[in-house]
Amino acid sequence: MIDKTLYAHPLFGSSITVIVYTLATAAHRRVRWAHGLLTTCVLLTALLLLARIPYASYNVGGQIVSFFLGPATVALAVPFYKHARAIHDRLPQVLTAVAAGTIASIAGGMATVALTRGSRPVLLSMFARGVTTPIAIEVSNQLGGLPALTAALTGISGLIGAVIGPPLLDWMKVRDPAARGVAMGTAAHGIGTARILLESETAGGVSALAMACAGILTALFAAIAQHWLR
């Protein structure tokens, strides 16, 4: 068991996160199916459980890493700005696809809860699990869901989208960068955008736009749903 004075230090959580992610990225280069982010989550969870480290103690340093999520998300606007002219020419198609994807995401989540006979709080928490975490948590609060559950579901959705999204698009023979970007940004928010950005700046720019639009549309649909679900 690791000494409490060690893992309670802010540098422990941030350092172990960076180290594990570096190892996971190196493993991904050798084993392509071992996605870096997913492997990092699994290894960190295993470490905390085996060493009996409370999440609150780890998160003292983990919050340092989380702090950079905001600037990293804002930085996703750079490829969008660089390819704004090309994206503008296809804006109607992009917005239509994002709207369809957002509705499908919400309907799919609600159908899943209904089929598994989940409780109302779970239903409300599932509503926004397809958009970026800050918006998802706020929507969950607005609807009366469980923000912690929404955050977890959002992370899982993003990881699943980042792992299976590109291979699935390849299998469906979707080669157009804009189409791939819309799909990843709408379905897998920031994690998916970071993944598709590795393929193409155009796809990353469209994905960043799709992620933002999906968040706005989900917030609007949440206001409607709040009245309808009373």
Exposed e or buried b for every residue in 56-95, given b needs 16+ CB within 10 A? ebbebbbebeeeeeeeebeebeebbeebeeebeeeeeebe
Assigned token pair, 23: 């190892």
Give dist(CA 201, CA 204) in Å, integer: 5
**What is the model's pLDDT at position 99?**
92
Give dist(CA 210, CA 131) in Å, integer: 10
Contact residues for 135 (Cβ-Cβ < 8 A; gap 6+): 128, 215, 218, 219
Radius of gyration of the chain measured on its C-alpha atoms: 19
Place of tokens 């379905």: 187
pLDDT digits (tens, 9 = 90+) for 75-87: 777 777 777 787 8
Give dist(CA 162, CA 24) in Å, integer: 15
Q: Residues 61-71: what's their mean pLDDT?
A: 71
**What is the model's pLDDT at position 96?**
92
pLDDT digits (tens, 9 = 90+) for 10-21: 778 788 888 888
**Which H, E and C letters describe 100-158, residue by residue?**
HHHHHHHHHHHHHHHHCCCCHHHHHHHCCCCCCHHHHHHHHHHHCCCHHHHHHHHHHHH
pLDDT digits (tens, 9 = 90+) for 115-146: 888 888 888 888 888 888 888 888 888 888 88
Neighbours of 226 (CB within 10 A): 15
Q: For residue 169, is pLDDT > 80? A: yes
